[in-house]
Chains A and B, each alone.
Chain A
Amino acid sequence: MDDVSRFKPQKLDSIKDDLLLVQGRYATDVAVTEAGHAFILANGMLTRQSLAQPSAEMRSEFEQGLSCITLSPDQSLLYAGHSTLNVIWSMKLSKDGLLSEKQPFYLVEGDLRGIGGVSDLFVDTNGWLYVATALGIQVCDQAGRVNFIIPTPKPAHDLCFGGKDLSELFIACGDTIYKRPTKAKGVVSGQQAPIKPPAPKL
Chain B
Amino acid sequence: MVFQDGVIYQAPVVFDNLIAKKDIPPLIGLFIKPGVVPAANENALPRFNRSYEYDSVTDTYSQFLIEEFLPAIEAKQGVKLSTDPNHAAISGNSSGGICAFMAAWHRPDRFHRVFTGVGTYVGIHGADPLPVLVRKFEPKPLRVFLQSGTGDNNLYCGDWWMANQMMERSLTWAGYDVNHAWGEGGHNQKHASQIFPDVLRWLWRDWQTNIHVKANPKGESKWKGYEVVGDGAWLKVPLTEPFSEGLQLETDSTGKVLLLELAPQESPLGPADAEAETRFSSITPEGSFKSGEFFWGNWNSRVYPVRTANPEHGRRKSVQTSKARFDQR
Name A's B-contacting residues (CB within 8 A): 1, 6-7, 9-10, 12, 14-15, 17-28, 30, 32, 34-36, 38, 40, 42-43, 45, 47, 49-52, 54, 58, 60, 109, 112-114, 128, 136, 138-139, 146-153, 157-166, 168-172, 174-184, 186, 188, 190-193
Contacts and interface: CB of A to CB of B under 8 A. Distances in A.
Contact of B327 (A17, A25, A40): A25
Given A23-B320, A163-B287, A175-B245, A182 B229 contact: yes
29 contacts: A7-B268, A15-B318, A19-B304, A20-B303, A20-B316, A25-B321, A32-B308, A34-B310, A36-B316, A43-B325, A45-B325, A47-B325, A136-B138, A149-B225, A150-B138, A150-B225, A151-B137, A162-B257, A163-B287, A168-B255, A171-B249, A172-B247, A172-B259, A174-B245, A175-B242, A175-B244, A179-B234, A182-B229, A191-B308
A60 B321 CA distance: 11
Given A151-B137, A158-B248, 4 more contacts: A19-B317, A25-B321, A184-B228, A188-B253
A162 B251 contact: yes
A18 B307 contact: yes
B249 to A, nearest CB: 5
B124 to A, nearest CB: 14
Contacts of A112: 57-59, 126
Contact of A166 (B227, B251, B283): B251
Given A10-B296, A21-B301, A114-B126, A34 B319 contact: no
A45 B326 contact: yes
A36 B230 CA distance: 36
Contacts of A151: 137-138
Contact of B237 (A22, A58, A177, A182): A177
Name the interface size band of chain B.
35 or more
Interface string B173-193: 000000000000000000000
Contacts of A147: 136, 224-225
B243 to A, nearest CB: 5
B300 interface: yes
A22 B319 contact: yes
A151 B269 CA distance: 42
A81 B229 CA distance: 23
Contact of B304 (A22, A169, A177): A22
A24 B273 CA distance: 11
Given A172-B248, A175-B243, A23 B297 contact: yes
B40 interface: no
Nearest to B318: A21
A181 B319 contact: no
Contacts of B230: 181-183
Given A7-B277, A21-B319, A158-B249, A136 B304 contact: no
A160 B304 contact: no
A132 B248 CA distance: 13
A84 B218 CA distance: 39
Contacts of B201: none
Contacts of B137: 136, 148-149, 151
